[in-house]
Structures are given as structure tokens and as C-alpha cells.
Structure 1
Amino acid sequence: MSGHRAYTPSLRDRLTKAVMTAAGYLPGPLLRPVAGAPRRVDGQVLDPHFQAGLRVISLMSEGEYQDLTLERARSVVERSAYTVSGRKIDLAVVTDIVLPLGGADPDRADLPARLYSPVDGDEALPVLVYFHGGGWVLGSIDSHDATCRYIADTGRLKVISVDYRMAPEFLFPTAAEDALAAFRYVRDHAAELGVDPQRIAVGGDSAGGNLAAVVCQQTRDAGEKTPDFQLLFVPATNMSARTRSYELFGDGYFLTRGNMDWYERTYIRSDDDRLDPRASPLLATDFSGLPPAHVATGGFDPLRDEGEAYARRMADAGVKVSLRRHPTLVHPFVNAVGATPLAKAALSEAVGAMRMALAY
């Protein structure tokens, strides 16, 4: 089974969330006393909401994830996500389910998941199969609960958030194989899940965006029905090289180069894995025939350049792609729907692109 554990916020966490949520409704200029002088890098100006948030996070920091115990690092991620999640969005259905993928294969496992639906009934809505971020090591369906609620509510579609198995308990390519198996299950059991079999999208942020991209490549290569759309937020696409955005934003903008180095070391088995397209989808030799995509990157993100490179490779191969850089935002802005209106706007824009592609 996965490493998912329920998170219970402390009183301090609840107070921090209340402050962050209230700050999210304030105009940017009013946050300057907390945020400090505007940060300008590579022709971009950091959003004052995120700049203020980074200062709060630094004051509460227990150290870099790679310097903590695994259990503590996972708890810190859950706490950080909770504090910027904003007011809870009520949906008609939010229920924990199990994807029965185990069977007789010892390498397979039943996977917990969470189903979100804006309607209570049998209406077959489009669905987004979502894979959370966290470097294949951290994160959970809880840490991304607010994101999935927002997408389901704004997009009027169902979301199935998958609790795939993570490292170091399960090394590469387990997460990629779980993601592929989860998509196949939803595709092949659309009727019983109450989803439209012709409108099944995959998506995710960071490591989850990596997994969504891999699912699209793997299903195409197998000659089977691929997802109908891919929604890639700040995706990690290349473990074999570092880009200029790592030099510009590798420290001080939430996700650090040190974090990424640790995530990758923890996830992969050897340097040979870095060259495998299931770990580095940007290294695939063929980008044709992939589903339409929306790729959203953050201007102040070490993964910015590799995410945009992936979008360009698909577009050059004839795939319909919308690429959007949000120049004022940090990694992973999709979790911060309660901290800044720009995060909500970025999510809404992405959902709009998905609705247009799925034509509903």
C-alpha cells in the first residue's frame, strides 16, 4: 500500500492558515511591509503574496526536507499545504475509494484514491485522473485536497486523485507503473465510476506532472487508447541535466535544487534510470501522437525551463499544446489556492483549457 497518512493540523497550523487565507484577499501593495522590496529576476517580479508567504515559511521552517527524517518531511509538506489551502470548497461528493489493481501480481497493489464530484448522481461527467506532486517521495491525496476540490468545482468534472506508491519504500519505476495502472483502470471501468469514457484526462503537478506525461507516452507506445487530455502543472521532465532556471531559482523560492537532488536520488535506482523516458519524459525519441496538453509553469521555478521544453517538443511534433508561463509565481502554485488570487486564476485558466479540449 502507499505511504499515505492522515494529517491532523495543530492549533498553530489553524492560526497560520487563517492568517494566510486572510492575506490572500488583500491587495498586493498592502503586503509589501511583510513581503519586503520586490524581487526581480530574469525580467520577472515575484508575486507579493508568494513573497510574503515565503517569509512566513522561512520563519516556521524546520530545515530542508533532505535534512529531516522522512516521516517529519512528509508531515511538514502536509502542514505547508494545509496552511495555504484556503477556505474549504464543499462538493456534492468527496469520498475515499480503492482502485483494485493488486491481483496476483506481487509488483501490483490496490491503491487508495479520492473521488471528487460536483454532482451527486449517475451523470457521467468528464474526469481528471490526478497525480499529486512531492518529488515521488512526499505529498499525498490530503496535501492536494484543496487543489482537486477547486478543479472539480471550477471545471464541473470529476477528479480521481491517486495515492500512488512513493520512494524510498518503492523505487522507480513503481510510481510510473502505478500511475499507468490507475489510468487504465479508470478508462476500462468508466461506466461503474460514473465518468464519460470519451473525456478522461490525466494531470498532476511537479512529480505528478511527470507521471501524467509518462502515462500518455506509455499508452501511446502500447498502441492503446491514450488519455484524451494532459494537464501538466510545473512538470519535472528531465533528470539528466540542469537548466538555466535551476541557476536562477535554485534557492529561496520554495522548491530548491537541493530538494530536487534529494528527490531524484531517493526515487531512482541508479544513474541509468535518469535516461529512461519513464523518469525523464523529455528524453523520449518520439513526441507525435500524444494527447492535447496544457502546460503551466511558474516564472520563479527551477523546473520552469524543462517544463517549457517539454511543451515545445510536443508542439514541434504536431501535438496541440497551450503553454502558459505564470511569470510571478513559484513552485508549486497549484497548492496555494488560499494564499493568492493568482494561483486561483492559474488553475481556472488551466481548467478552461481542459474544458475546451474535451469540448464540454
Structure 2
Amino acid sequence: MKHLLLLPLFLAASAFSQTPAKSKAPDAVDTLAKDLKPSRVLVYKKIAERELQLHVFDPAGFKAGDKRACYLIIHGGGWTGGAPPRMYPFVAHYAKLGLVGISMPYRLHSANTGVSVFDCVKDARSAVRYIRAHAAELGIDPQKIIVSGGSAGGHLAVSTALFDKVNEEGDDLAVSASPNALVLLFPVIDTSKEGYGNAKIGERWQELSPAHNVRAGLPPTLIFHGTGDTVTPFVGAKTFHEAMLKAGNRCELDVNEGGVHGYLMRDKLLFDDTMKKTDSFLKSLGLLP
């Protein structure tokens, strides 16, 4: 299988974040994001007093009733931090290419609030269901939904296709939460003790470990990962990739030799290269004009 490159998305310090973020120097993606604004913001889910909103970037010439492909992306942050603006450069790129681009938030895992990683997964699956159920008003083809994400966001992205038993009470289960393609950026892909997130998920970790739940019939998947990643170890991506191929699924693993966690977010040349490779993948699926 062809080896490409990694798309890391680490999290971001942002006014939208629910938790204080450590200050850091802006990286390439931060710089690209700072002047970007969504076309509209829509509530996709209400939990108690909390409203979760989709940050939508409409393409030029957009109108309700269009049937455009949708590129939905989910931010990283170990399920405990980060915010939608961090991922604006990705959705802005696809809005320029004629897709509806969406960056989404989710409830953040916290022992204090009782939000679990299972709740994070529920939110991601709810978002895909909302988009598919409201496709006409969003100007989206319900059979052309791409879900992407970085790090923990990559875990949530693949969760939309994998974890059919993890659903929000009240969601319409007749509406599929599975996307038509996945683009995973240095994802949390193995939640065992050898991977990432085992302590946060707890004894039920295997229920939320993508590498341990691969089956036939999953969406075409492109994974970007670096061999130098010590946060979400590269071996997990390799294991998942091999399991996908064995199950008869289309899966491409784009390897960056020595790439550390989040490296693609820090270098504009690598970011641009990743977008080109993602474009080619989506064109091969008929999801990009």
C-alpha cells in the first residue's frame, strides 16, 4: 500500500476552549487559522444547559438544496482540551474547493463533570447524524460525508464508523452515523496500555479501541502518522492499517519517517503537502470535484 505522510493535529488554545490551555508559540496552522471565520454556527445537540455547535464554512455560491460533499473535522486535545478554531484551516481549504466544511466541538472528558470518553464518542456520532438528517438545509449530499480528526479527534472520527453501540439516548438510530470516508491525522487508534488513553477510558478501554474493533465494511480510510510519535505510538496505526486490509477495507497509511505528534501542524509545507495528498484520496472516491 502506498505510503504518504502524516497529518498531525494537536489541540489549540482558543477562546472557545472549555479548559485553560497552556500558552505556546503559534504554529503554522495557528497562523493560518487566526483570521478565519465560519459562515454560520448551528446547534447540533443540547445536553442539559449546554449547546454544542457546528462551525460551518460554506463554499462560494452555496445555497440550501445543494448536494455538496461535506468535510467534517474534529479537534484533538486528549479528549480534555482543544476547540473548533484550531481546525479552521482544514475546513476553509475544502470550502474553497466547493465542499461544505465543518469544524465541531464535543463535551470534554473530565472527572469533575463526569463526562467520559464514551460521551465524547456519542457527540461525534450525534454530529454525523445531525448533518445527514439536515443535509438538505445544509446543502450536503448525505452520502458524501467525510469525517476527519487529529489525535483524540482522529479517534472520535473513526468512532463514528466503528462503535455502533455507543449512542446518545434520544438520537434517531435509523440515521447512520457512519461517514463515507475517513481521514485520520495521527489518531488515537489503540487505547490499550501500549497506546494512548487507557487510564482515561478505564477498564472498558477495549470497547473504544479502534485497533481492536476493525471489521469488514468500514469506510475508505486515509491515515497520516509519524514514526517518531510517542504520544499515539506509530505501531498502533500500523496495526490498524494491517487489520483494515485483512478485513477487505480500503486503507492507506501515509508515513512520515521520524515525524512526532503534531508535526504537520507546525510546518506549512507539510500541511500543504498533506492537503494535496488528502485531495487526491478524496478525488479517487468521487468526493472532490
Q: Do residues 333 (structure 1) and 263 (structure 2) align?
A: yes
Give the aligned CA root-mean-square deviation in angstroms.
3.0
Query: Could you tell me whether the CA contact under 8 Å between 2:222 and 2:253 is conserved in 1?
Result: yes
In 2: Cα distance, 1:309 partner to 1:230 partner: 17
Q: Do residues 241 (structure 1) and 193 (structure 2) align?
A: yes
Instruction: Count residues in correspondence.
Output: 262
**1:344-355, aligned counterparts within 5 Å?**
344-355=272-283
Q: Do residues 137 (structure 1) and 80 (structure 2) align?
A: yes
Equivalent in the alignment of 1:358: 286
Q: Structure 1, residues 176-199: CA drift from partner, whole Å, max 9, x if none?
A: 000000011101111111112221
**1:81-100, aligned counterparts within 5 Å?**
84-87=29-32, 94-100=38-44
Query: Could you tell me whether the CA contact under 8 Å between 1:96 and 1:115 is conserved in 2?
Result: yes
Give TM-score scaled by structure 1 length: 0.64
In 2: Cα distance, 1:311 partner to 1:223 partner: 29
- The alpha-carbon distance between structure 1 residues 158 and 232, as it changes in their structure 2 partners (threshold 3 A), is same
Q: Do residues 101 (structure 1) and 45 (structure 2) align?
A: yes
Equivalent in the alignment of 2:126: 181
Equivalent in the alignment of 1:190: 135
Q: Do residues 318 (structure 1) and 248 (structure 2) align?
A: yes
Query: Could you tell me whether the CA contact under 8 Å between 2:33 and 2:87 is conserved in 1?
Result: no
Aligned partner of 1:281 among 198, 210, 214: 210
Query: Partner amino acid for 1:150?
Result: H
Equivalent in the alignment of 2:62: 121
Gaps of 5+ in 1: 9-69, 244-259
Query: Could you tell me whether the CA contact under 8 Å between 1:298 and 1:325 is conserved in 2?
Result: yes
Aligned partner of 1:231 among 172, 177, 183: 183
Determine helix, strand or coil for the equivalent of 2:123: helix
Query: Could you tell me whether the CA contact under 8 Å between 1:311 and 1:323 is conserved in 2?
Result: yes
In 2: Cα distance, 1:199 partner to 1:80 partner: 36
Higher relative contact order (CA 8 A, sep 6+): 2
Report how far residue 83 of structure 1 moved: 5.9
Q: Do residues 110 (structure 1) and 51 (structure 2) align?
A: yes
Aligned partner of 2:151 among 206, 218, 221: 206
- The alpha-carbon distance between structure 1 residues 357 and 220, as it changes in their structure 2 partners (threshold 3 A), is farther
Q: Among the aligned pairs, what percent are the same residue?
A: 24
Equivalent in the alignment of 1:6: 15
Report how far residue 166 of structure 1 moved: 0.5
Determine helix, strand or coil for the equivalent of 2:143: strand
Query: Could you tell me whether the CA contact under 8 Å between 1:81 and 1:335 is conserved in 2?
Result: no
Report how far residue 84 of structure 1 moved: 4.6
Equivalent in the alignment of 1:163: 105
Query: Partner amino acid for 1:135?
Result: G
Query: Could you tell me whether the CA contact under 8 Å between 2:54 and 2:104 is conserved in 1?
Result: yes
- The alpha-carbon distance between structure 1 residues 101 and 86, as it changes in their structure 2 partners (threshold 3 A), is closer
Query: Partner amino acid for 1:160?
Result: I
Equivalent in the alignment of 2:4: none
**1:46-85, aligned counterparts within 5 Å?**
71-72=19-20, 74-76=21-23, 79-80=24-25, 84-85=29-30
Query: Could you tell me whether the CA contact under 8 Å between 2:84 and 2:103 is conserved in 1?
Result: yes
In 2: Cα distance, 1:164 partner to 1:137 partner: 10
Determine helix, strand or coil for the equivalent of 1:358: coil
Aligned partner of 1:294 among 222, 225, 237: 222
Larger Rg: 1
Determine helix, strand or coil for the equivalent of 1:101: strand
In 2: Cα distance, 1:157 partner to 1:220 partner: 30
Report how far residue 82 of structure 1 moved: 5.4
